[in-house]
Amino acid sequence: MSINEQESIAISYKPLEEIGYPYPTFEDPATLYEKVGQVGEGTYGKVYKARNCKTGQLMALKRIRMKTEKEGFPITAMREIKLLQKLKHERIVRLQEILVSKGSVYMVLEYMDHDLSGILGHPEFRFEPAHTKSLTKQILQGLAYLHQMGILHRDMKGSNLLVNNKGELKIADFGLARIFQKNRAGDYTNRVITLWYRPPELLLGATSYDTSVDIWGVGCIMMEFFIGKPIFNGTDEISQLDTIYQVMGTPTKDIWPSIEELPWYELVRPKEHYENVFRDTYKNTLTPGALILAEALLSMDPKNRPTAAEALEFDYFKTEEPEALLPANLLNIADDWHDFESKQRRRLQAI
């Protein structure tokens, strides 16, 4: 079986018994949890905010639909459960238990009040510079742990970064995550990472890549804090590349020696040459330290991007004022703000 066939996750299933510890509880979630509302929707089901009927504690129920008992369990969900069982860190969302009922499996996760996409879509709320620094730092702390554990996330974006009202951030959604061998680029599919956060090497067809693909996503999210919108917002792979080139410059062998080796380079070779205008465009928007860090995270050549651990050592975090501060002003936000709910609100306003 080829690598691409192994990663054809949409049609891959395994027996439910392979989930392992924590062993699934065959109880009806309706008797254990009271659903408060839907807060998300993924490939394999819906995510609900729910209250534990005994303790009153809020939890997130991630429902995973199983088409038929014979087909078994979606491999992406299996992968996410296996990884969450392994991961124990304050910046990674916690898996509490697994419930099985009436053809569905529920992952019971700790509840977080918001996600970054939802908050960034809030019409009135804005992060202060110290808050932006704290959130960027927390993302990098979580990634440093994941990468140290030998795991690529492969879907870094705002809706997968959960935040509670104390301003504490946790990385979630490990359906696309993969275990990798450290200090060695693996051979994987390039059909990962949401388009606006996908690095140029994947857009150019790379299947051999490493932790640097996650680092590009952090750079995109960091810039979103400062400018209030996605920095690269193409409509398809070609326009996404063009949008990146218009800001970061058209890559050449001088700045990216291995670019011509990428599978789709000749196929999508740009007709127009752009100069790098990143620094000139954002020098008045970002602090000097933030500008240096963001520029490094968004290096076109993935070999020039710092690791998450190296990024945490930049002057932006170590010496530049203001110091990182948890965004406790999230306590002032009425209701929960997730990407799913923000989209629902926008739809209602458009009617």
Going from the C-alpha of 312 to that of each of 22, 115, 133, 270, 317, the distances in angstroms are: 33, 22, 11, 34, 6
What DSSP designation does 301 have? S
Smallest CA-to-CA distance from 290 within 315, 307, 310 is with 315
Q: At what angle do helices 212-227 and 288-297 cross, to 10 degrees?
A: 140
What's the rounded mean pLDDT across residues 214-224?
98
What pLDDT does residue 1 have?
28
Query: Can you say whether residue 94 is alpha, beta or left, with left for phi > 0 and alpha for psi between -120 and 50 degrees?
Result: beta
Alpha carbons within 13 angstroms on the beta-carbon side of residue 163 total: 31
Is 70 exceeded by the pLDDT of residue 301?
Answer: yes
- Indicate the SS3 state at residue 32: helix
Catalytically active residues are 155
233 within 8 A of 250, measured Cβ to Cβ:
no
Pick the range with the lowest mean pLDDT from 4-8, 109-113, 147-151, 212-216: 4-8
Q: How far does the chain reach from its first CA to its final CA, in angstroms?
A: 49
Q: Per the structure block, which two tokens stand in for 291?
A: 């500008």
**What domains does the chain contain, in order, with CATH numbers?**
23-110 (3.30.200.20), 114-329 (1.10.510.10)
What pLDDT does residue 4 have?
33
* pTM, rounded to two decimals: 0.88
d(CA 176, CA 4): 13
Quote the percentage of the chain above a pLDDT of 70: 85
Q: Which residues pair with 283 in a beta bridge?
A: none
